[in-house]
């Protein structure tokens, strides 16, 4: 019965919680203060329960995303991030621009939870799925002779004599190996006269370097957004000239915030 539970609690506390007379029972001073604290504890338990529930639903928490430099230029990715911010304003979102190789390393050591990268060889501890495919295009100055002849597309072999601006091999981008393979299939090894890479558009292959020098690069169409450069499509029948964008996470990552982001 309740009276016995109260007596047991009073014995444990070593103090009376109630003042009892033949006519009435009132809270003692100890009982009144104990009740105030007990109500605070119950409120905190309710709050903790709500926090756990919202975390499970992905409504609160932190989500760290690592992405490659071209990801912001692919409309579907910024749209997904904007939609997530609108739907889950209480989630702290951290965005970091890094290379594909650094994305993979960040997923493995759990410094990021979601990675948006170019496809490359990854360990079994990571789960990757394809977001989109884009055709590779030749990028060069708008006044380059090949740009004027590119109405019907440019074959890779047409770039054999052109100096190339490209990402450093150490970036670990799958596009590097893909472009080398396409060039070799076309009968040449590209003459990479400048390796360019950086966090700002000016220092990327499809940015300032290609624009300031009479050089070419082969990249996804969204990898550059500078005036004075021309995109020259490659012939459609060459099916190998396609670059993918992938999203990765760890096998064990079942966080609610990840599931919520993935639903966008």
Q: Which of 35, 43, 39, 45 is nearest to 15 (CA)?
A: 35
Residue pLDDT, tens place only, 50-74: 999 999 888 999 999 998 876 766 7
What's 234's DSSP letter?
A: P
Q: Which of 203, 130, 119, 127 is nearest to 166 (CA)?
A: 203
Residue pLDDT, tens place only, 221-253: 766 555 556 666 654 445 566 667 778 776 666
Calpha distance 232→159 (Å, rounded): 11
Task: Note the pTM of the prediction, 2 decimals.
Answer: 0.69
Which two three-digit tokens encode residue 117? 């990268």
* Strands laid side by side in the 229-233 sheet: 217-219, 137-141, 229-233
Residue pLDDT, tens place only, 119-156: 777 888 888 888 877 778 888 877 888 877 666 678 88
Domains of the chain: 2-57 (1.10.10.10), 61-131+249-263 (3.40.190.10), 132-200+212-247 (3.40.190.10)
8 Å CB contact between 211 and 203: no
**CB proximity list for 69: less than 8 A, separation 6 or greater:** 97, 197, 199, 204, 223
pLDDT of 262 = 73
Calpha distance 194→22 (Å, rounded): 97
């Amino acid at each position: 019965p309740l009276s016995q539970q109260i007596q047991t609690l009073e014995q444990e506390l070593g103090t009376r919680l109630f003042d009892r007379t033949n006519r009435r029972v009132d809270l003692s001073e100890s009982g009144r203060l104990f009740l105030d604290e007990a109500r605070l504890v119950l409120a905190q338990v309710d709050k903790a329960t709500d926090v756990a529930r919202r975390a499970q639903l992905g409504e609160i928490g932190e989500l760290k995303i690592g992405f490659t430099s071209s990801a912001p230029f692919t409309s579907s990715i910024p749209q997904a991030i904007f939609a997530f911010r609108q739907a889950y304003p209480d989630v702290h979102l951290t965005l970091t621009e890094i290379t594909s190789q650094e994305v993979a390393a960040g997923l493995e050591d759990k410094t990021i939870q979601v990675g948006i990268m170019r496809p490359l060889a990854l360990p079994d501890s990571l789960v990757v799925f394809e977001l989109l495919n884009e055709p590779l295009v030749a990028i060069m100055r708008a006044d380059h002779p090949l740009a004027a002849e590119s109405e019907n597309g440019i074959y890779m072999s047409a770039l054999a004599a052109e100096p190339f601006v490209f990402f450093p091999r150490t970036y670990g981008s799958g596009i590097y190996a893909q472009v080398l393979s396409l060039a070799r299939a076309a009968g040449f090894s590209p003459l990479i006269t400048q390796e360019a890479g950086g966090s700002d558009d000016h220092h990327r292959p499809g940015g300032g370097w290609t624009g300031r020098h009479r050089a070419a690069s082969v990249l996804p169409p969204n990898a550059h957004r500078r005036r004075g450069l021309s995109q020259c499509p490659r012939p459609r029948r060459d099916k190998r000239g396609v670059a993918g964008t992938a999203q990765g996470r760890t096998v064990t990552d079942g966080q609610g915030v990840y599931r919520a982001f993935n639903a966008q």
